[in-house]
Structure formats: C-alpha cells, structure tokens
Amino acid sequence: MALSPKEKEALEFIEAYFVDNGFPPTVREIGEAIGFTSKSSVYKLLRRLEAKGYLEIVPGEARGLRLIRPARGIPVLGKIPAGEPLIPYEDFEEVLPVDPSFFGAEKLFALRVKGDSMVGAGILPGDLVVIRVTEEAKNGEIVAAVLTEPEPEVTLKRLELKNGTLVLKPENLSYEPFVFEKEDVARGRVKILGVMVGLIRKGLNPAL
C-alpha cells in the first residue's frame, strides 16, 4: 500500500532515530519530528503504518515500535538505474541486512551479478557485489558502470585508464574489453556508478 507524505516522513524518522539511538522513538518525539501537535494524531498515523505492514505496535510498552524492514542495510539495485538521483532507497524490494559501515562507507548499494565475465576476480554469477557510490575510480579498481548504448545496461568490469581512453576489462579470457575514447566519455556513452568495495554470496554458487 502506498504511503502518504506524512506517513513516509514519520517512517523515515523512526528508522533514522533507531539507527542513531539504538532504540525506537516515543510517540511524542515522532510528533515533534514531523510537525504534529497532537500525540493522538501520531498514534493514529502509527496505526496506519501498522496496518500497511511497515511496523508493529507493542501495546502498552514505552517505545514499543518494531520495524518490519531492517533499519540498516544495503539496498539491492534491481532494475537499471534510469534516473539521476540514484538510490532513492525506496523502489528497492530487497535490502541486505548488513551494516553498511562494515564496508567503510554509508552510500552503498548492491548489484546482482549476471554472467561469468568476472570469474577471474572470484566473482560468480548470482553474487551480490557491494558498490560504493562515487564517480571517481582509480586504475585497477572494479567498477559498476552504465553503458547507454545501444540501450542502458549496467555492467561490472575492471577499470583501466590510459591517456584519455577508458577501458572496461572483463576478468575472463572469453570476453573482449570495452574501449571508450575520450569523446565517448564526454558524450556520456559510459558513466561510472561506483566502485566495488565488497561481495556477498548466498549459497555455494548462487547461480545454481
């Protein structure tokens, strides 16, 4: 079910508060944060959030709020990132229950690997690659990039920069590198989303 603006604001506040403090906020604190003067209004809003499945109210208990979706995690990028702001943190069905600070950064997302073009770097199809959002990548780093032509597509490759040209190298001899000249980059035919900072595999070989 969709969230009204105030409901969304409240839910985001609760999650942020939880991350900062280690326990949920009180009804009053939520009210203050979203600009409600009456606690009963907040309470009703919480009931709505409960009905919509975003949290659970434990009756009678101080700070008795239980968040359903994990407050802290790494969102999995499902579709191709068309828009620019990127990572609206909504729109992600799946969130990995992993504290982002473990990978040394806050702005992260995960990408499910398709294909075996990076097996040489120990990256199997089905693996979840953790990407730190940045446009600045160094030589030799593995980057997530979006190729705009012929149609938008996200790919994971090792980056190689030599005097102006940008090369995306697979880690598998059966595949050819992608080479972009200076003007290709300038025209936005390739765009770096971020650099790989980690990997999470569920199962032995997730593709099977």
Partner DNA sequence: CTCTTAAGAGAACAAAAGTTCGCCAAGGTG
Partner DNA sequence: CACCTTGGCGAACTTTTGTTCTCTTAAGAG
For the segment 144-183, give every residue that binds its own copies (CB under 8 A).
Answer: none
Tokens of 37: 């003067």
Whose Cβ is closer to DNA: residue 2's or residue 173's?
Answer: 2
Element (H, E) at 8: helix 5-21
Told to check if 26 binds its own copies by CB under 8 A, we report yes
Q: Give φ, ψ of 116 to 5 degrees.
A: -110, 30
98 binds, among its own copies, DNA, none (CB under 5 to 8 A by kind): its own copies
Tokens of 114: 């398709």
What is the pattern of x (binds its own copies, CB under 8 A) and - over residues 71-110? -------------------------xxxx-xxx-------
Of 9, 32, 141, 160, which lies in the binding site for its own copies, with binding defined by CB under 8 A? 141
Q: Residue type for 173, please?
A: L
- Rounded to an integer, what distance in angstroms lies between the CA atom of residue 199 and that of residue 112? 10
Q: Is beta strand 74-77 parallel, antiparallel or unpaired with respect to 108-112?
A: parallel
Told to check if 63 binds its own copies by CB under 8 A, we report yes
Told to check if 22 binds its own copies by CB under 8 A, we report yes
Does 157 participate in catalysis according to the annotation? yes
Minimum distance from CB of 69 to DNA (Å)?
A: 20
165 binds, among DNA, its own copies, none (CB under 5 to 8 A by kind): none
Does 39 participate in catalysis according to the annotation? no
Q: Judged by CB under 8 A, how many residues of this single chain contact its own copies?
A: 40
- Binding residues for DNA (CB under 7 A): 4, 6, 26-29, 31, 35-41, 43-45, 48, 57, 59-64
Q: Which of 40, 79, 157, 162 is catalytic?
A: 157
Q: Residue type for 162, please?
A: K
Q: Residue type for 44, please?
A: K
DSSP readout, 143-173? EEEEE-SSS-EEEEEEEEEETTEEEEE-SST
Told to check if 33 binds its own copies by CB under 8 A, we report no
- Rounded to an integer, what distance in angstroms lies between the CA atom of residue 173 and that of residue 175? 5
The 10 Å Cβ neighbour count of residue 199 is 17
83 binds, among its own copies, DNA, none (CB under 5 to 8 A by kind): none
205 binds, among its own copies, DNA, none (CB under 5 to 8 A by kind): its own copies
**SS3 assignment, position 181:** coil
The residues carrying an active-site annotation are 117, 157
